[in-house]
């Protein structure tokens, strides 16, 4: 097939004006290995909200990331799960307790009641926070 010089020049000009091919999108790895390491193929850095395991730090990161205090439900469930993991240690992680004398037993029971009181206070604050979020959703 042959083109005259004017048509050939016009085709070349159109070829220069055509958009270039877009680069292929990166494949995103949504899952992270259980040991917390990332594969070398994943280049996207994850936000602290996605990776944090400590519930207190996670809560602070959620508040920093949300200027109006609204948090998506999937992130609230991550926060709940992190709190549950902290409150309930995995089975077999605590060694068997050696025989304790009376004074150390009483200090241990005082500590456990203090920890229970702190856990109750945290649960109360968490409930109050959820109610505040629900009230803001209604507005």
Each residue's pLDDT, cut to its tens digit, for the chain (139 residues) gives 678 888 888 888 887 777 777 677 665 555 455 455 555 545 567 787 888 888 888 888 888 888 787 888 888 888 888 888 888 866 666 555 555 555 555 666 666 788 888 888 999 999 888 888 888 777 6
CA distances for 26 relative to 23, 34, 41, 86, angstroms: 9, 23, 10, 35
CA 68 to chain centre: 18
Whole-number pLDDT of residue 26 = 65
Indicate the domain borders of the chain: 47-88
pTM for the whole thing? 0.36
DSSP output for 4-66: -HHHHHHHHHHHHHSPPPPPPPPPP-----TTS---TT--PPPPHHHH---HHHHHHHHHHH-
Whole-number pLDDT of residue 125 = 92
Q: H or E segment at 105? A: helix 102-138
DSSP output for 63-78: HHH-TTS---HHHHHH
């Amino acid at each position: 097939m042959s083109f005259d010089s004017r048509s050939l020049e016009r085709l070349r000009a159109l070829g220069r004006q055509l958009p270039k091919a877009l680069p292929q999108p990166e494949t995103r790895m949504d899952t992270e290995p259980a040991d917390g390491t990332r594969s070398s193929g994943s280049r996207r850095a994850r936000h602290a909200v996605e990776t944090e395991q400590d519930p207190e730090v996670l809560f602070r990161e959620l508040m920093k990331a949300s200027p109006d205090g609204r948090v998506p439900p999937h992130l609230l469930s991550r926060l709940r799960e992190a709190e549950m993991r902290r409150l309930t240690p995995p089975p077999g992680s605590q060694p068997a307790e050696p025989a304790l004398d009376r004074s150390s037993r009483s200090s241990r029971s005082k500590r456990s009641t203090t920890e229970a009181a702190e856990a109750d206070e945290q649960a109360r604050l968490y409930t109050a926070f959820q109610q505040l979020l629900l009230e803001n959703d209604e507005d």
